[in-house]
Amino acid sequence: MGEDVKAIIGSLLINGTQKEALRDGVVIIEGDRIRKVGQRDEVTIPHGIKIFDGTGMTIMPGLIDAHVHLTGWRRGDTTGRYDTALGIARAISDAYNMLEHGVTAARCCGSPYTPSIKRAIEESTIEGPRFMASGAFISQTFGHGDIHHLPLEWVRDIRVIADGVTECRRAVREQLRNGADFIKVMAGGGTSSQLDELEYPQFSPEELKAIVYEAHCVGKMTAAHAHGLTPIRHALACGVDSIEHGTAIDEEAALMAAESGRFIVRNCYTPIKAYEETKGFTEIGDYTEWAFRRHKINYEHNKTTVRLCREMGCKQAIGPDVTGCEPYDVIPKNMKAFMELGGYSAMEAISCCTKTGSEVMGLGDRIGTLERNKIADIMVVDGNPLEDVMVLAPKENIRLVMKGGKPVILRGIKIT
């Protein structure tokens, strides 16, 4: 082995593939790559190398957030919508916050800042997860990306509104010009836009097909926001690669997604939270009547469709759809919801957030699992997430985060 070799040892090793966890696991890292993974008695640790000692802890792949918006927005505070510098400053801090919680890779599904933040991370100006960035998302007028209660000029500043095939093509090409890694499009109604119901399909088939065509021409994937069954069917028929949310999917659409290898990226926690935090109260707090009503619809659908998708063989990834500033318990809370609603085991839920996440990013051959020759994106957590996934929630439990073989978060782990 060459130089820059290090090892991580731990009492348990989860490799992300759903294979049985190893007792007394060891990972040998050389440069940015994983060279060996195994049990203590079968892996020889080269003499004199640095060892990160996670005895009593669990080694596992870094988490992958498959749907975030690095916008710097804060709930109940609209400042970030028009103060660009503030938005960017917060987004940089939020990217670091994600890393601190063990998120080593993320797919940003809509923020004009992320292509540049991604570049700053790659050139080591700042620290953050490995990002795939869509740039601004694309919406039709009167679509989910067109926030109807705001003046149109504000809306146009932060996302792309396109109508007609020509504008749709231009919108995609502009995002590609800005460095987008994939294209995010709003194919149906949502909870945060006032006038479009969840079941409304958005963009005509000609428009949506043109968007997909322009992306696929240059080897980029497309992600479509779709909650209602009609938008889900519409997006699948037009050839998008991932359905974001997929809340009201039925058996036929789930089968179509599964058979064609398309992804469903889920957020199962926020709607539950929104519902549970507000039910029983006549007052609906932060939520307007229309948003609350739609969260309830999503909540009811999630009770059956997470399981349906699992049973139909869909690849489901975890994408909490937040802005990155949260304590980031949204990831383990989603894992828990996958287990409760979808019947996933803890091992499978972890795999949804690691291996499947890497696949939806198009990086399945490089990250997402702890296997020989993969990039060393690894975390060490104090506790056993197979017994309780919520040990992943407090950042104090995340004792080591390694990104590309480099320790980026060290929280009291012994180094010998």
Query: Where do contacts with Zn ion occur on this chain (CB under 5 A)?
Result: 109, 321
Min separation Cβ 41 and Zn ion, Å: 46
Of residues 109 and 254, the one with the C-beta less far from Zn ion: 109
CA distance 206 to 265: 24
Min separation Cβ 69 and Zn ion, Å: 6
Of residues 25 and 135, the one with the C-beta less far from Zn ion: 135
Min separation Cβ 245 and Zn ion, Å: 8
Of residues 13 and 235, the one with the C-beta less far from Zn ion: 235
Min separation Cβ 99 and Zn ion, Å: 20
Of residues 109 and 381, the one with the C-beta less far from Zn ion: 109
Min separation Cβ 70 and Zn ion, Å: 11
Of residues 6 and 301, the one with the C-beta less far from Zn ion: 301
Of residues 35 and 295, the one with the C-beta less far from Zn ion: 295
* Cβ within 8 Å of residue 39, ≥6 positions away: 13, 22, 23, 24, 25, 26
Which of 199, 198, 146, 201 is CA-nearest to residue 171? 146
Residue of minimal CB distance from Zn ion? 321
Of residues 94 and 321, the one with the C-beta less far from Zn ion: 321
Min separation Cβ 363 and Zn ion, Å: 20
Of residues 63 and 109, the one with the C-beta less far from Zn ion: 109
Of residues 35 and 159, the one with the C-beta less far from Zn ion: 159
Min separation Cβ 17 and Zn ion, Å: 28
Min separation Cβ 68 and Zn ion, Å: 8
- Rg (C-alpha) for the chain, rounded Å, is 21
Min separation Cβ 62 and Zn ion, Å: 21
